[in-house]
Amino acid sequence: MDKLRRGFSTRAIRSGQDADPATGSTIPPIYQTATYTLDAIGATKGYDYSRSINPTRRALETQLAALENGAFGVAFASGMAACFASASMLRSGDHIVAPRDIYGGTYRLFSGVLSRYNIETTYVDMADLAATRKALRPNTKLIWIETPSNPMMVLTDIEAIVALRQPGQLTVADNTFCSPFFQRPLDLGVDIVVHSTTKYIAGHSDLIGGILVTNDADINKEMVWHQNAIGAVPGPQDAFLTMRGAKTLALRMREHERNATAVAHFLEKRSDVSAVYYPGLATHPGHELAKRQMSGFGGILSFRPRGGAARAYEIARKTGIFQLATSLGGVESLICSPEVMTHASMPEPVRKELGITGDLLRLSVGVEDAEDLIADLAGALDAVPAQPARASS
């Protein structure tokens, strides 16, 4: 398939999805096998053991690489396993520069795990290019990008960060929030794209997975080596479900965005909401950058109802269609408290500095009917007034 001449959905549906050569099965089968029988010693058909290689996983890797305009995809058992694989390029004594507003699990990986191997991380406000440049050291080997960030929806200018990269430094972009439908960091010069495929790519909140995509053959070789050496691979069932989900990514992303835009406008007009963080709003500080760098604004937003943490907790309990659950990117709408759910692994002072406090709620806006989503939020906000009503005399 010529990736440059095919549209996004054609690639989603056809890349890596050729009929099975063994049987003609139109849909790539779930090769539920640990091992492969040889005709003679040394005579493999390219497959020897499913930790190293599996045809269903290969089909997924080819499909997702095509969606990111990349040459190589390497699939993992989770987004965190994929993040760890990209960081495995580092050695003791190396240094990472990462955004201070970063997914809590990635923060835990860098500050809790890699620090044990003498790999230090400096967290910076990546909207501040001068500060980011200043954070780079001679031993900096990895510049991590996450845009829009989780949960504050802060945008990073990918091309500007890539321009800071010195020889020997790697740039990795976590593209989970946008999905490749709305943003393609490899086209902007990034070395590796990482996804939690748990989210939009698989899209149905029914599995955990991750992927790395690159155009660099040497990086791919290292990642494939790591995939086999560490063994955090997705099973064939999960690879199949991810692949099936990814076929409808464009359709879903358009709906997620339409609904998120409607919800953001609704919340913005509420006097009992003090802030709405969504890059599609003209008031968002990254709105112009979002228009330039992304082809859509995505389906996630955070907001701050007035009335503090107590009111926010009550609102999260009172919604019905928005289910109170961690994660994002599925067809169903979710609401969560980043402070105690997704970002609990971040130290409190850091969370406070970023604005990840008890009064912040994050929404993953699904593809249900927009009117129902708005009615659900309106009902929950109205049920918990920001100020107790004055008793009438």
The CB density around residue 327, as the number of other CB atoms within 10 Å, is 16
On whether the CB atoms of residues 152 and 277 are closer than 8 A, the answer is yes
Does 80 sit near ligand PLP (CB under 6 A)?
Answer: yes
* Binding-site member from 31, 72, 103, 181 for ligand PLP (CB under 6 A): 103
Beta strands in the chain (DSSP E): 72-76, 95-99, 120-124, 140-146, 170-174, 192-196, 210-214, 273-277, 300-305, 323-324, 334-336, 361-364
Q: Is 174 a catalytic residue?
A: yes
Site string for ligand PLP, 201-220 (x = CB under 6 A): -------x-x----------
Q: How far apart are CA 297 and CA 281, in angstroms?
A: 9
Closest separation between CB of residue 123 and ligand PLP, Å?
A: 15
Only one of the segments 51-59, 74-82, 85-93, 248-256 lies at the binding site for ligand PLP (rule: CB under 6 A); that segment is 74-82
Backbone angles phi, psi at 230, to 5 degrees: -85, -35
Burial 81-102 (b: 16+ CB within 10 A, else e): bbbbbbbbbbeeebbbbbbbbb
Binding residue for ligand PLP (CB under 6 A) from 56, 78, 179, 227? 78
Structure tokens at 162: 């890539």
Identify which range of 51-59, 169-177, 221-229, 378-386 contacts ligand PLP by CB under 6 A: 169-177
Q: Is 55 helix (H, G, I), strand (E, B) or coil?
A: helix
What six digits make up the tokens of 31?
């090769």
- 111/198 with CB nearer ligand PLP: 198
Distance, in Å, from the CA atom of 317 to the CA atom of 358, rounded to the nearest integer, reads 14
- Nearest-angstrom CA–CA distance, 257 and 274: 22
Closer residue to ligand PLP, CB minimum distance, 15 or 205: 205
- DSSP for 353-390 reads HHT--TT-EEEE--SS-HHHHHHHHHHHHHHS-SSPPP
Known catalytic residue at 103: yes
Minimum CB separation of residue 363 from ligand PLP in Å reads 14
- Does residue 171 belong to the site contacting ligand PLP (CB under 6 A)? no
51 belongs to the catalytic site: yes
Of residues 184, 199, 252, 304, which has the active-site annotation?
Answer: 199
87 is a contact residue toward ligand PLP (CB under 6 A) = no
Question: Is residue 156 part of the contact set for ligand PLP (CB under 6 A)?
Answer: no
Closest CB 388 distance from ligand PLP, rounded Å: 36
- Give the residue with the Cβ less far from ligand PLP, 198 or 215: 198
Q: Which of 31, 103, 123, 200 is catalytic?
A: 103
150 binds ligand PLP (CB under 6 A): yes
Between 29 and 235, CB nearer to ligand PLP: 235
Q: Minimum CB separation from ligand PLP for residue 76, in Å?
A: 9
- For the record, the structure tokens of 156 come out as 């990073």
* Nearer to ligand PLP (CB atom), residue 346 or residue 384: 346
**Tokens standing for 371?**
């009117």
Residue 355 as a binder of ligand PLP (CB under 6 A): the answer is no
Active-site residue (options: 51, 165, 291, 306): 51
| CA distance linking residue 46 with residue 54, whole number of Å | 10
List strands edge to edge, sheet with 170-174.
Answer: 72-76, 210-214, 192-196, 170-174, 140-146, 95-99, 120-124
Among 68, 94, 174, 191, binds ligand PLP (CB under 6 A): 174
Instruction: Lay out the site mask for ligand PLP across 32-71 (x = CB under 6 A, - = otherwise).
Output: ----------------------------------------
Pairing verdict, β 192-196 and 210-214? antiparallel
Residues involved in catalysis? 51, 103, 174, 199
Interacting residues toward ligand PLP by CB under 6 A? 78-80, 103, 105-106, 146, 150, 174, 176-177, 196, 198, 208, 210
